Every structure is written in C-alpha cells, then in structure tokens.
Amino acid sequence: MPLKAAYVTLLTKDVYLPVTPELSAESRTVLMNRGIATREIQSLQPPDSHALAAHDARFADTWTKLRGFELTEYDRIVLMDSDMIVLRNMDELIDLELPADWIAAAHACACNPRKLAHYPADWIPENCAYTPLVHPTAITSPTQITSTTPRPYNLLNSGLVVLNPSLELSAVVQNYLNSSPLVPTFSFPDQDLLAAFFHGKWKPLPWIYNALKTLRVIHKPLWRDEEIRCLHYILHDKPWQARVGEKGTGGEYEDVNRWWWEQLEGVVSDLEKSDPDGSKLVLANVAPPL
C-alpha cells in the first residue's frame, strides 16, 4: 500500500517563508489560495531559556520543527527548512527504507568557512564528512559513520529530515528536550538535538538532497549543479535580502542566489494571475528591484 506522505515546512513569520499562530492571516490566505494544506501548531521551546549567539538568533523558533513527529495523519514526512528550493523531483525519499524510529538526513558541513568563533573547535575541513567525497560516487554514497570517524561525522544538517511520525516517538523526543542536560549546550537547536537523540540511529543521505550552498565553493570535487535535488541557503545572508545585479557583481554565491530569484519569478507570475493580493504580499517581503 502506498505511503501517505507530505513535504512539510515550518512557517513562523511572513519574512521567513506547520504554521504557528504568529503567521499573519494574509500569509495564510496566500497558502490556502495555492492549495497548500496548513496545520496550526504551538511553539515548542525547552523549559529553561536557551542562549544563542547573536549570529544565530534566527534559530530561536526551530525547536518547533520537532512537532513534525506529531503529524501522524502521514506515514512519512520530509521535513524541510523554508530557506530551500527544490530543483529536481526527490519523491524517492518517500520510499526510502528506514529502520523503526530512525530518521534520515544529510551530514552537517563542519568546515566553518567563515571561521565563526562560536562554532565548535573541531569544525575544520579535515573533520568534515564531505571532504573525502568526489563526483560521481558522492551522489549515491555519503560518508558512513564508524566508531573511528571524527566527531563531526556524527552531526546532521536538519534542513531536510526524513521521518515517520509517531506520537510515542514524539513524546520521547520532547521529554529529551525538557530533561536532557545537553540541551543548554546546543548551538543549533533542533539540529543538535536530533543528532544527539538519534545518535547511531540516523541514515546519511547524499548531499544532493540538502545541497548546502557553501558546498559549491568549498567542496567542489563533489558538487555538480545538475545533480541538485534540493538547495539549502544556509547561513544568515539569505537570497531574498538582496537582488542579484549584473553578472559578476554578486560574489561567490551569485549563481545560487540567482536561481532563487528565478524560482520566485515563476511563483509571482502565477500569483499575479490567480491571487494579485498574494503577489503583492510576497513581493513586500523580499528586496525591492534594483
């Protein structure tokens, strides 16, 4: 019997496209008019205040992504961050074999190319799970985790997570959030929690399903534009914050940022025909034309 499945993202505010109460009525209307199902959920936070570096303040809401385990109306969900674009079909993730109470995700990149001081000291290229990979084997064979691999190999990037919802598993995950002494140490809220809770119980996915924009620059041996399924605009500088100008003026991420704007143009073109007010709302939350 085919699985009942869904691609799921968390929306908490208009400017940063499950729905929390903070999302405006206007944005909800746009989603409804596009035929996108929504489910309102309550914010999820650890019981004690959790300090984040100023650079990472945008992660404050991401604990709520753990509500994905509660979506038991589905057999399988692919939980995605909203700073991603899908460039090729990836429905094979719906049929991916997963042991009971496991998840699947791509590795975190531990290179720390911007040398951010608050990142772990062992986040260096030599300890990154992407460093050994080259094309074409990188497309199908992610780095495996063993007892002797560097610690960062055990870390996942939670931009895309494949999971099977379960109220029992959700309760255990939330109990971990509420009680584990490790939680105050986590720099990347839901991401670090998932890596710790599912230690030894997460299946590495190839980079193409969570193609971190930085990989194109710092892991060129594995990267091929044409192989990307889902592109992830990690770090604090998002493509919608600035328009892309003439070719050669947009820095090292000019091409991938241009892809985002090309996707937006298609969405806006559709909205102008079917939902003009929605088109205006979308454009009000991105950088104005040059």
User: Over the stretch 214-237, which tens digit does the pLDDT of each residue have?
Assistant: 999 999 999 999 999 999 999 889
Q: Indicate if the pLDDT at residue 161 is higher than 70.
A: yes
Q: Enter the tokens of residue 200.
A: 């030894």
Q: Indicate if the pLDDT at residue 104 is higher than 90.
A: yes
pLDDT of 189-207, one tens digit each?
899 999 999 999 999 999 9
Name the more confident of 273 and 186: 273
Phi, psi at residue 32, to the nearest 5°?
A: -60, -45
Q: What is the pTM of this model?
A: 0.94
Determine the residue type at 11.
Answer: L
Q: Enter the tokens of residue 74.
A: 């589905």
Alpha-carbon dihedral angle through residues 169, 235, 59, 51, given to the nearest 10 degrees: 120
> How far, in Å, are 80, 174, 184 from residue 67 at the CA level?
13, 9, 19
pLDDT of 168-193, one tens digit each?
999 999 999 999 999 988 888 899 99
Q: What is the structure's pLDDT at 61?
A: 77
Dist. CA 62–CA 64, nearest whole Å: 5
Q: Indicate if the pLDDT at residue 74 is higher than 80.
A: yes
Dist. CA 70–CA 235, nearest whole Å: 28
Phi, psi at residue 35, to the nearest 5°?
A: 75, 25
Q: Residue ranges of the domains in the chain? A: 5-236
Query: Which of 28, 16, 24 has its CA nearest to residue 58?
Result: 16
Dist. CA 112–CA 122, nearest whole Å: 10
Phi, psi at residue 48, to the nearest 5°?
A: -105, 155
pLDDT band at 54 (very low <50, low <70, confident <90, very high): low
Percent of the chain scored above 70 by pLDDT? 93
Q: Indicate if the pLDDT at residue 264 is higher than 70.
A: yes
Architecture of the CATH domain 5-236: Alpha-Beta Complex (3.90)
Dist. CA 134–CA 215, nearest whole Å: 12
Dist. CA 113–CA 110, nearest whole Å: 9
Residue for token digits 């990188």? 138
Q: Which residues pair with 5 in a beta bridge?
A: 76
Concatenating the DSSP letter of every residue in the chain gives -PPPEEEEE-B-STT---B-TTS-HHHHHHHHHTT----B------SS-----GGGGGGGGGGGGGGGGG-TTSSEEEEE-SSEEE-S--GGGGG----TT-EEEEEPP---TT--TTS-TT-SGGG-TTTT--TTGGGT-PPPP-TTS-GGGG-EEEEEEEE---HHHHHHHHHHHHH-TTGGG-SSHHHHHHHHHTTT-EEEEPGGGGEETTHHHH-TTT--GGG-SEEE--SS--GGGS---STTSSGGGHHHHHHHHHHHHHHHHHHHHH-HHHHHHHHHTSPPP-
